[in-house]
Each structure stands twice: as structure tokens, then as C-alpha cells.
Chains A and B, each alone.
Chain A
Amino acid sequence: MTNTAFRTETLTKVYQTGDVAVHALRGVDLTLPLGEMSVLLGASGSGKSTLLNILGGLDTATSGRVWFEDMELTAMGQADLTRYRRDHVGFVFQFYNLVPSLTARENVALVTEIARDPMKPADALARVGLEHRLDHFPAQLSGGEQQRVAIARAIAKRPEILLCDEPTGALDSQTGIRVLEALQHVNEEFGTTTVVITHNVSIRKIAHRVINLADGRIVSEHVNTHRLQPSEVTW
């Protein structure tokens, strides 16, 4: 067993829209150790989401290779990718992506029902401080609350990987801090390998590792020796 969570080799992704080809990733070589919290920084359009989606098995690469532990994601078909997502990965999206017709508890249950060793939905929601909002529908929750439901949904199956695409992007700083606290809490308590995309430069101070992307390439990688608590971060 290695202690590497993800490894990529000259990963590229080209989107073909009509007659224009967009090179979203232009050869990414990356190694992410198990249990770390990494932050992906970069300007809009630099390829962060694309990279995260490929790591999470939501999208497929155009060329290059990706491993999760000793599984090669780039060699897997749709059915295997579905299994991979179901068994190993939790997602948090910028726009929460909750199912509007299901309550907070039911949104979490959507995941726990197909997971191998899930928490109880109520427990997962308690961990993000939503024990009082179990039976509210998304429309009855604030943005921060919706995002915390999304995090509860992501962690309820005790995933090995937690992938978050701009989880605080739509939130104010106070709410953003609560969300980050929840993420850090999960990372520390379960040793979940966590990758967070953000525009917010301050967040890098709470992560183990900070990776900068520009124009589809990694331009710098930095390991924090001293990590701050989310509450210490200024926005």
C-alpha cells in the first residue's frame, strides 16, 4: 500500500465545442498524498474544475493517466467509474446541487442508501451543525446551510476522498468559515484526503498543500508547514 491518494501523468483535456477546441488541461503531473487537505488555486478558466472532475470520475481525460491509490481511473469504463464514485468519493459543489424535492435528511439519505458503511443521515448533519434542520427542504435553508447539507451528504458515506469545487464561492465570510471548519474537521477526524478549489487566497493557509494552476498547467506547488485554523483566517 502506497501513501499516495492521487497520481496523474501528463493529463490533458480538450473540449471540442463546434469548431473550437478548448485546451482545459495541457499536461498535468501531480501527486497527492493520502490524508492531506490540498487547495487548488487559479484564475477562472485555468482548469481547476476540469482537474477535480477527472479526479472524481465525473469526467474523462483526453490523454494521460490518473491513478487513485492503485486503481487507474483512466482505464475504467462508465460502470466502474460509477462504482468508484459511489464507494470512495464525496463531492461538494459550488451551487450545492441539492435535490429540491427532498429534505436535508433525505438528501443525505440519497447517498447513505447506496453506501457500504454510511453514518446515519442525522449524525452526518449533526457534524455540520444542522441537527435542527433535518426536515427542511433546500428552499427553506440559507445558502450556507444548503452547502453544509451538501457537505454532510458528501461525508455521510465516510469517503476516502472529499472533492470540493468552490464550496464557499457563493457564501459570505462568516458562513464560509463554518463550512471550512466542517471540511477541516472531517479531514482531521477521518483522515479523508480532501481537495478544495477556491478563488480565496486566504484559504491556502489552512491546507497542507497549495497547488497553483494557470492555463491548464501547474505553475507552482507549496507545502504548508504551519496551518492556521479557519477562524484565524482573514477574508
Chain B
Amino acid sequence: MSALDRKVLRDLARLWAQGLAIAMVLAAGVATLVLGIGAQNSLSETRAAYYERYRFADVFAGAKRAPEEVADRLAAIPGVAAVHTRIKEVALLDIPDQSEPATGVFLSLPVTGRPRLNDFYLLSGRLPDPDSRHEVLANETFAKEHGFQAGATFAAILNGKKRDLVITGVMMLPEYIYALGPGDLVPDGRRFGVFAMPYKALAGAFDLDGAFNDVAVDVLRGTTEAAVIDAVDEILAPYGGVGAYDREDHQSNAFIDAELVQLRSMSFVIPPIFLAIAAFLVNITIARLIALEREQIGLMKAIGYSTWAVGFHYMKLVMLIALVGVVIGWGAGWWLGRGLTRLYGDFFNFPFLIFTMRPDIYMIAAGAGLAAAVVGAVNAISGVVRLPPAVAMSPPAPPRYRKLFTERLGLLKRAPMALTMALRNITRWPIRASLTTLGLALSIATLVGAMFAEASVDLMLEATFFGAERQDATLTFTEITPIRAVEAARQLPGVLRVEPFRTVPIRLSKGHLSERTSLSGKPLNGDLSRVIDFDLNPISLPDQGIAMSDMLADLIDARRGDLVTVEILAGRRETHEVRVTAIVQDFFGLSAYANIATLNTLLRDGNAVDGVHIAFDANDREDLFARVKEIPAIAAIALQGRSLKLFRDIVERNILTMMWVYTLLAVVIAFGVVYNSVRIQLSERARELASLRVLGFTRAEVSFILLGELTLLCLVAIPLGWVLGFGMAWIVIQGLQSELYRVPLIVNRDTYGYATAVFVTVAVVSALVVRNRIDHLDLIAVLKTRD
């Protein structure tokens, strides 16, 4: 090994702490990129494989009752590869030891063989006997939540009649990766289950012998789905067809899409910021580190090494540090990405997980990391290497300090010496001081950007569950019911308030833009289910026209006062021109709202409701639940309190876990920056400080001079970091917006406070580490050798 290479290794050993700090900053940047994209990619690959293996369909439609022969006509639609018909019914469940009523979706199994489309994965147990009236398969989340295995029993109210059922096996379905019960905001395995039942048994219970009410269609590649959807709608219309839709509007699929989009934007938004910040920090740190090598660079040039040879020598050092960072970042990103994939994999119901590694992402991350280091090195090296060796070798001329402006005014006359020195030092190197400050501020900003989400999510939940949807429970009826059901609901035990609602699937369009969504009718001056404005205050719905969230309005480019087209996808399926009379705030889903009377007028089927929102006295809870289970007209009950709790769990799991990871990485970055700033300052000023010690300054005084400067820079950096942090939070928020839910941008005092506290802790720890070095400053060695 050449002496020069040996120098590289020895320098690396000497600078290990600083080198590691730089490497960790870089690693944090690399890891964020690898982890986010890794998880996002693994999940979409997993989903694709799952869909492929279990033949998830392309187009879905429901009907009231269609004879089996209609299936052949559907199969004859050009571009249709396969058709699978079945019965799909919703029913209340009665589960032993559980007072809250639960809801089940019952799907019919084909008379022979497996479903042609939307197959299921049998996790354990066996298929029900095709002739049995009691045997069912249960989905995994429901079974797990209740501790049910093959042999477990429960009851369901099928078409008004209670039937005891026995579970013969546990399954997972590609159409219920995200298994959301009716009226629920979040999946709840305890209160919602999916069951597969032999066709004969289900058809018998619902009087659907020889008929189906649900169909899935596989479309040949290269066929436009829209044409197939229109054809399906036309064929099913006489049989009470409810608008066909494609995967994009399939509930479970759409939710995963939204999560994936969110995960993707998080992994395309945050990591580049982290990586850019890491690159900047590595850049300035390395530049200063190399500036310290000035004399050795001069020497090497003096004894005949070319500029290139010297440059390459330092480049090797930098590359080694950067490589360590990249490798750590790869490892950490891979590991965290797997963890995150598992987390999401658990949350969505996948029977298996495929972990993918995209080499291109690893390469991009490595490239960005190395480039950051190299650019920093090139800047610094070229600056020093340009100097004639004679100049480089002699220490830089003593800097020409100036009296401070304030000093000239006589203001600082009595300021302590250390403060004066620190201030002069800052004003002497304003660029260096600014860059250091910016570096410190950016590390505070990353902390803010990583930590703000919790408060924002809290506000979102607060506004939704206590400002807008304030009901205790939502009862959904099995079918459209006359308004007098409201009166009946009022008679239920413990019920304090009742408000009707009506929801229909619609296609909302303006110009060439359209969006499949639903239109919710609420009473004009509702007290339970309300809409809120942008200040989160409840507002009353306009009695004419429709209201919608800004997100939905943006999607179809509608403004207040515009006429939009509402195509109702159920019942008479009429199309209306309706005016947008209000733009409102909502954080969940994509819904349009209208006065229930207005909606009923559009629907032209009288004063009807789909269900009611109720407030009830918690003391009568058990009585109420027991009663609800006996009412055949109620298909489902959603409980707001439980939704809130579950939603918090989910958010904690998804967003906050991710945010914790980012916070951790932000701490690493902050530590790297602060530690390197002080450490390099110590090297730059070692002689000066040692001389002061020789002159009789105490260790504490000397530390104070060095750390005083850092303190001053931190004081400037903290407010700047807040501002940058708010900007970063804004960017992160953009990545969190989805049709699923929208997180408002809230950066509150707590967040700034926590971020600052973490930063200050990190700064103090770094300062203590460096202080320790100052205390052990070898005076003789510093003054004797010139390193």
C-alpha cells in the first residue's frame, strides 16, 4: 500500500467520530429514500400478485335480482373474458359475548368449484358442504378478532330470520384487503365480517333461487372498461342494476390506492428533502474538514504531488466516508422498509408479502449521497489546491478582525471577553457562520417536518368526530325506508336524538371531468351530522343545490355557483343539473352534501331515508344494542366512538410510525451537524485555544469561548428552523392528501417546542462531547505540531 493510501486510512481512523457523524447524516438521507420507495413498491407488487393469483375482477356491478341466464348476456359483451355471478347480502350478526351488533357481508359460493373471479385464499379449515344451510367461511380479520377457528358458532339475521352458523374455515379475499363495514370510517374486524356461504343456503334465505344480485367481470386486456361498464349497466338496468364500476371505484382497492399514493408521495416528498439537506450538510462539513488540511495539501504539492494526485487523495477519504454512509443508509433503509411493509401488510389483509428491492432506487440514493460528498470535497479541495504551495503551507495570515458595530457604539464595553470573541469571530466569517446557522436551522426544520403530523391528525379527528360527525351511532336500514322510521328509531331504548340521512351513489361531472362519489342528504339544521367550514365551525347546509369539499371541487374543477351534472347511479338513474351552493371542509372521503329534502326531490321516490344517526345515553347502551339486534330492518350499526379509537390506532400505526422513523433520522442529522460544527471549530481554533490555556485561561473559560459561538448561532438558527420547518410541514402535508383522508396543516407551539427541545438536547450532548475534548487538549502537542 502506498504511503498516501496509508494516510487515507490513518486519517479516517483519526477522524472516525466526525467521519461517522457525516456518514450518519448521509445514511439518514439514503435510508429515507430506500425505505419509503421500498415499502411502497413491495406493497404494490404484493397487491398485484394477490390480485393475479386470486383473479380479482376488473368491473363490478350490483342488481336487485337478475336471473342466472343474464350471465350469458354479460359474457357476450365484447371484451369480456369472464363473468362471475353471485349473491351478496348484508346482515346483522349476533355474536356470543359481544353486545354491540356486528354486520356481515354474505357472499355465495358457486355450486361447484371455486369462484371464477374474486376467488379467496383458504387459510385454514375446509369449504362448507354445498348442501349445508349453516356452514360458512369467515374472513381472517373477523375470525382473529373473535378468536374464532373452524367449529366456532355465531348467529346472523338473514332476511329477518335469525340463523345459527358454524365456521368451517378461515379465508382471505382480494376484494376485502381493506375490509370496511357499511357506514364505518375504518376497518373493524370485531364489528364487520365477510362470509362465504353455499349458494343454495343463501339463495334460500333471500328468495333468490336461480338468480344473482352481484356480478364481477374480467375484461380482456386492451378493451376500454368504460364500454364494458356501459354495456353491463344496460343489461342490468331492468333487474334493478346499481351502476357498474371499475377497480378505481372499488372500495377496498380504492383505499389501498389512496394509501399507496400517500406512501408514494411521502417517499417521493420527504426523502428528497432529507437527502438534499443531508447533501448540503455533508457538503459544508467536508469543505471545512478539508480546509483544515491546508498545510498538508501544500506540503504534498511542495514535494511534487500534482494537484490531481492531492485532490484524488482527499477524494478517497471523502468517498470512503460517503460509502460508509451509503452502506449504512442502504442497510437501515432496507430494514426499515421491510418493517414498514410488514406494518402495512398487517393492516391490509394480505395472505403473503413480496419484498422487492429496486436496484435503481439504491443506485439513485447512493449516487445522490456520493455526489453530495464529492461536490463538497471538490469545492474545498479546489479552493486549497489553487493556492501556491508556499502559501498553503504557511498558516493563513491572522484574520483581520473588526470592531463590532455595537462595540464602536460603545454598547459592548462591558460585554464579557468570551462573548466579544465569539461575536467577532462570527462577523469575521459571515459566510461560514451563515452556512453553519443554515445547517443547524435545517436540522431543526427536519425535526419539525417529522414531528408535526401528530397534532395535525389530532385536529383532523377533533374536527371530524366532535365538530362534524357527532352522532354516537349510525343505523343503516336494509332498504330505503319511509321517513316515519325516524319516529320508530326515537322509541329505541336510550335514544336522545335522531337525524335521518340518505346516501346515493352518483357520478358528478363538470365538462369533461367526472368523479364517482356519493351524495349525502342531511337535515337542514342538523345537530348530529353536520358540515363545517374552513374555520372548522359548523354551518347549515344550503337548502338548494349541493355542497362539496374543496378536494372534490378541485377534482371536477367546480367553484361555488357553478352548475354541475349529477348522474344518480341507483333507482331511476336520472341526471340533473345542480348548482354548487357551498364549498365546505371535510377530512374524510369524497362526498357531496345536500339538504335531504333536496335530495329526495331529485330522487323522486318520496320522503325516504337510508338510515339514521342517533345520539344515545351511554347507560342504556346494552339495552339499545340488544334491541337493535332484533330489528330485521337494520342492516348495520356504526359506532363513532369505536371508529375514532380505531382511526387513532391506524393513524398511529401508519403516519406516526413513519414520522417516528423520520424523527429518528432527523435526530441523527441534527447530531451530525451540531457535532461536526463544534468539532471542526475546535480543530480550526485548537492553537488559539491552547494558547489561551497557556496564558492562564481556565478550561471553562476556553470552552465558553468556543461553545459561546455555537450558542449564538443556535439562537439564530432556532427561529429560522421554525420557519423552514413550517415550509417542510407544508410540503409533507401535500404528500399526505388523498381521497381517503386529508390532514390539515397544523404546526403548533408544542411541535416547535418538542423539535427545539430535541435539538437543544442534541446540541448540549454534542457540546459536552467536544467540551471533553477541550478539557483534554494536549497543550504541548497542539503548540508543537502543526496538524
What is the CA–CA distance of A95 and B785 in the complex, to the nearest angstrom? Answer: 8
Q: Does A101 contact B (CB under 8 A)?
A: yes
Q: Does A100 contact B (CB under 8 A)?
A: yes
A contact residues vs B (CB 8 Å cutoff)? 17-18, 49-50, 53, 56, 58-60, 78-79, 82-83, 85-87, 89-91, 93, 95, 97, 99-102, 106-107, 109-111, 113-115, 138-139, 143, 153
Q: Does B299 contact A (CB under 8 A)?
A: yes
Q: Which chain A residue lies CB-closest to B299?
A: A97
Known pairs A58-B390, A60-B388; A110 contacts B785 (CB<8 A) = no
- Please indicate the chain A residues that have their CB under 8 angstroms from the CB of B17 in the complex: none
Binds A, one of B304-312, B413-421, B517-525: B304-312
Q: Which chain B residue lies CB-closest to A49?
A: B390
10 cross-chain CB contacts under 8 A = A17-B397, A82-B305, A85-B301, A87-B304, A89-B304, A97-B299, A97-B393, A110-B3, A110-B300, A115-B304
Q: Which chain B residue lies CB-closest to A142?
A: B784
Closest 3 CB pairs of A and B: A86-B304, A101-B10, A53-B390
Contacts A58-B301, A59-B391, A139-B781 known; 7 new A-B pairs at CB < 8 A: A60-B388, A79-B306, A82-B306, A91-B302, A110-B303, A114-B305, A114-B309
Q: Does B739 contact A (CB under 8 A)?
A: no
A153 touches B303 (CB 8 A): yes
- B:272-330 near A, CB below 8 Å: 295-296, 299-307, 309
B4 touches A113 (CB 8 A): yes
What is the CA–CA distance of A109 and B305 in the complex, to the nearest angstrom? Answer: 13
- Please indicate the chain B residues that have their CB under 8 angstroms from the CB of A17 in the complex: 397
What is the CA–CA distance of A60 and B388 in the complex, to the nearest angstrom? Answer: 8
- B:351-406 near A, CB below 8 Å: 388-391, 393, 397, 400
B11 touches A58 (CB 8 A): no
- Please indicate the chain A residues that have their CB under 8 angstroms from the CB of B299 in the complex: 97, 99
- Please indicate the chain A residues that have their CB under 8 angstroms from the CB of B296 in the complex: 99
- B:648-676 near A, CB below 8 Å: none
Partner of B307, one of A82, A85, A138: A82
Q: Does B776 contact A (CB under 8 A)?
A: no
Known pairs A58-B388, A99-B299, A139-B781; A106 contacts B307 (CB<8 A) = no
B390 touches A59 (CB 8 A): yes
Partner of A86, one of B2, B303, B786: B303
What is the CA–CA distance of A2 and B122 in the complex, to the nearest angstrom? Answer: 99
What is the CA–CA distance of A114 and B310 in the complex, to the nearest angstrom? Answer: 13
- Please indicate the chain B residues that have their CB under 8 angstroms from the CB of A106 in the complex: 3, 6-7
- Please indicate the chain A residues that have their CB under 8 angstroms from the CB of B389 in the complex: 58-59
Looking at A86, A87, A114, the one whose CB has the most chain B CB atoms below 10 A away is: A114
A93 touches B307 (CB 8 A): no
Interface contacts (Cβ under 8 Å), in number, total 84
Known pairs A101-B10, A101-B11; A95 contacts B786 (CB<8 A) = yes
Q: Which chain B residue lies CB-closest to A153?
A: B303
What is the CA–CA distance of A138 and B786 in the complex, to the nearest angstrom? Answer: 11
- B:759-787 near A, CB below 8 Å: 781, 784-787
- Please indicate the chain B residues that have their CB under 8 angstroms from the CB of A58 in the complex: 301-302, 388-390, 393
What is the CA–CA distance of A34 and B305 in the complex, to the nearest angstrom? Answer: 25
A111 touches B785 (CB 8 A): no
Looking at A17, A102, A106, A110, the one whose CB has the most chain B CB atoms below 10 A away is: A110
A101 touches B307 (CB 8 A): no
- A87, chain B: closest CB distance, angstroms: 7
A93 touches B388 (CB 8 A): no
A85 touches B10 (CB 8 A): no
A91 touches B303 (CB 8 A): yes
Known pairs A82-B305, A86-B303, A153-B303; A97 contacts B786 (CB<8 A) = yes
- A73, chain B: closest CB distance, angstroms: 13
What is the CA–CA distance of A110 and B388 in the complex, to the nearest angstrom? Answer: 20
Q: Which chain A residue lies CB-closest to B781?
A: A139
B306 touches A100 (CB 8 A): no
Known pairs A53-B390, A60-B388, A97-B786; A82 contacts B301 (CB<8 A) = yes
Q: Which chain B residue lies CB-closest to A154?
A: B303
B391 touches A102 (CB 8 A): no
B6 touches A85 (CB 8 A): no
- Please indicate the chain B residues that have their CB under 8 angstroms from the CB of A91 in the complex: 302-303
A101 touches B14 (CB 8 A): yes
What is the CA–CA distance of A143 and B784 in the complex, to the nearest angstrom? Answer: 9
What is the CA–CA distance of A82 and B295 in the complex, to the nearest angstrom? Answer: 17
What is the CA–CA distance of A218 and B786 in the complex, to the nearest angstrom? Answer: 32
What is the CA–CA distance of A86 and B390 in the complex, to the nearest angstrom? Answer: 15
- Please indicate the chain A residues that have their CB under 8 angstroms from the CB of B786 in the complex: 95, 97
Q: Which chain A residue lies CB-closest to B307?
A: A78
A85 touches B2 (CB 8 A): no
Q: Which chain B residue lies CB-closest to A17?
A: B397
A102 touches B781 (CB 8 A): no
Q: Which chain B residue lies CB-closest to A59?
A: B390
- Please indicate the chain A residues that have their CB under 8 angstroms from the CB of B4 in the complex: 110, 113
- Please indicate the chain A residues that have their CB under 8 angstroms from the CB of B388 in the complex: 53, 58-60
- A184, chain B: closest CB distance, angstroms: 22
Q: Which chain A residue lies CB-closest to B391?
A: A59
A101 touches B304 (CB 8 A): no
B304 touches A82 (CB 8 A): yes
A102 touches B10 (CB 8 A): yes
A139 touches B785 (CB 8 A): yes
- Please indicate the chain B residues that have their CB under 8 angstroms from the CB of A50 in the complex: 390
- Please indicate the chain A residues that have their CB under 8 angstroms from the CB of B300 in the complex: 110
What is the CA–CA distance of A53 and B306 in the complex, to the nearest angstrom? Answer: 17
Partner of A107, one of B3, B305, B784, B787: B3
- B133, chain A: closest CB distance, angstroms: 85
Known pairs A85-B304, A111-B303; A138 contacts B3 (CB<8 A) = no
Looking at A53, A56, A82, the one whose CB has the most chain B CB atoms below 10 A away is: A82
What is the CA–CA distance of A143 and B6 in the complex, to the nearest angstrom? Answer: 24
- Please indicate the chain B residues that have their CB under 8 angstroms from the CB of A85 in the complex: 301-304
- B543, chain A: closest CB distance, angstroms: 78
